[in-house]
């Protein structure tokens, strides 16, 4: 083996060694790109499964569901869960439309989540005042987590699905620190509820 | 005469009702204002907490405290939406107070972390430069020694005739 070949080996070892020894400094300077950044929202039934989610709702009966939010943004997030009760004619946000429902929220849940953390809280709801006419059902008061909310939501009889349908919608909003405003995160969960006597 | 009496009674009733209406309006405005202020404080505090996190600070404790404030703000907003004004202002002001404290702590934590990061960076860079220099120096020494022994070995292997001829 020629001396030049040995020199090449020494120079290579030298360069590798220098890079290895400088790696702690290089690691401080180079930011590794993080993975996909997203937030999630979910609803579970009373036994923390999807199997026991309420569907047929009666006046004066309390129903419990669990509302959860998880943060995979790579940093802390300031969330707001806006809860709305819509009748069948009121449209809620179409997926990926970026637009929330225009109906004002009944109540809100504000929370701060660190990256990778999950928040889950019970949501107990009860229809206080439900009246039925010939062809329509009308909700004028609901109770959510112990607070009564006055409202006026009328649903007409759906002959195809045979029921008076409402949707309990929870929209996820996220505070954008750069712009200084809370923005709809294009994520929501909804629960179809059939009002029964 | 009767007409004047009706006007007088109407004005009296209006004078009694108007202050009540104004009072309830002012009260509602006060509650809305305290919610808005608390919300604004929360957003400012969160912005600084996130900034502290971005420079490498551990913000777990700050987020836990902000969540305490968020619970109070949630109660204030939902009570207001439900028409129960009893504890709206108190809850909103407590939420604001927590947010303001967290905001100050977040700013301090961010500044401390930036200073600490600068020191850590300088120390790491210095150690890297020293370690790399020592490594290169030792490698050069090894190379020189290796080169010498290699050349000696090569010279020792030269044939006798070639040595005489030169």
Q: Which two tokens stand for residue A23?
A: 């790696």
pLDDT of residue B108: 97
* Cα of A5 to nearest chain B Cα, Å: 12
| pLDDT for position B21 | 46
pLDDT digits (tens, 9 = 90+) for A40-64: 999 999 998 888 899 999 999 999 9
- Rama region for A155: left / alpha / beta (φ>0; ψ in -120 to 50; rest): beta
Q: List CB contacts (< 8 A) between A147 and chain B.
A: 78-79, 81-82, 84
Vertex A144: Cα angle to A167 and B97 (nearest 5): 120
Flag whether pLDDT at A74 surpasses 80: yes
Alpha-carbon gap: A17 to the closest alpha carbon of chain B (Å):
7
Spatial separation of the C-alpha atoms in residues B123 and A108, rounded to whole Å = 48
Asked if residue A154 lies in contact with residue A94, where contact means CB atoms within 8 angstroms, the answer is no
Residue A175 in tokens = 């505070």
Closest by CA position to B31, among listed B86, B74, B70: B86
Residue B26's pLDDT is what? 46
Selected for mutation to probe chain B from A8, A73, A75, A78 (highest B CB count within 10 Å) is: A78
pTM of the model: 0.79
pLDDT tens digits, one per residue of B50-94: 999 999 999 999 999 999 999 999 999 999 999 988 889 999 999
Nearest to B63 among A3, A14, A114 (CB): A114
The arithmetic mean of pLDDT across residues B117-121, rounded, is: 92
Q: What is the pLDDT of residue B25?
A: 46
Residues in CB range of A14: below 8 A, 6 or more apart: B135, B136, B139
pLDDT of B18 higher than 60: no
Contact A21 B81 (CB under 8 A): no
For A88-140, write each residue's pLDDT tens digit: 877 666 666 778 888 899 999 999 999 999 999 999 999 999 999 888 999 99
- Model ipTM value: 0.85
For the ranges A3-7, A131-135, B138-142, the maximum mean pLDDT occurs at B138-142
In chain A, pLDDT over 90 holds for what percent of residues? 67
Lowest mean pLDDT among A186-190, B112-116, B157-161: B157-161
How many whole angstroms separate alpha carbon B55 and alpha carbon B52? 5
Residue B11 C-alpha, separation from nearest chain A C-alpha, in angstroms: 33
């Amino acid at each position: 083996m020629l001396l030049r070949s040995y020199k090449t080996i020494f120079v290579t070892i030298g360069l590798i060694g220098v890079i290895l020894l400088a790696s702690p400094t290089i690691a401080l300077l180079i930011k590794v790109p993080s993975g996909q950044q997203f937030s999630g929202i979910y609803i579970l039934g009373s036994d923390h499964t999807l199997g026991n989610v309420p569907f047929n709702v009666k006046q004066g009966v309390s129903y419990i569901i669990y509302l959860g939010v998880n943060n995979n943004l790579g940093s802390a997030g300031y969330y707001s869960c806006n809860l709305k009760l819509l009748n069948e004619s009121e449209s809620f946000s179409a997926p990926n439309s970026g637009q929330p429902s225009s109906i004002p929220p009944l109540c809100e849940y504000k929370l701060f989540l660190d990256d990778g953390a999950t928040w889950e809280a019970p949501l107990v709801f009860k229809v206080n005042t439900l009246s039925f006419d010939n062809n329509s059902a009308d909700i004028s008061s609901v109770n959510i987590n112990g607070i009564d909310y006055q409202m006026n939501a009328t649903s007409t009889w759906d002959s195809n699905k045979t029921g008076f349908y409402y949707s309990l919608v929870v929209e996820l909003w996220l505070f954008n620190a750069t712009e200084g405003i809370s923005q709809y995160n294009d994520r929501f969960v909804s629960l179809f509820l059939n009002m029964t006597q | 005469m009767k007409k004047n009496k009706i006007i007088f009674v109407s004005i009296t009733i209006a004078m009694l009702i108007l202050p009540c209406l104004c009072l309830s309006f002012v009260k509602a405005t006060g509650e809305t204002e305290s919610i808005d202020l608390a919300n604004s404080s929360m957003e400012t505090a969160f912005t600084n907490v996130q900034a502290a996190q971005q420079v490498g600070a551990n913000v777990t404790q700050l987020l836990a405290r902000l969540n305490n404030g968020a619970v109070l703000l949630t109660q204030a907003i939902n009570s207001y939406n439900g028409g129960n004004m009893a504890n709206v202002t108190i809850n909103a002001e407590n939420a604001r107070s927590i947010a303001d404290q967290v905001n100050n702590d977040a700013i301090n934590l961010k500044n401390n972390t930036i200073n600490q990061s600068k020191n850590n960076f300088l120390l790491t860079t210095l150690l890297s430069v020293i370690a790399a220099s020592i490594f290169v120096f030792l490698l050069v020494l090894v190379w020189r020694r290796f080169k010498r022994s290699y050349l000696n070995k090569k010279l020792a292997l030269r044939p006798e005739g070639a040595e005489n001829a030169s």
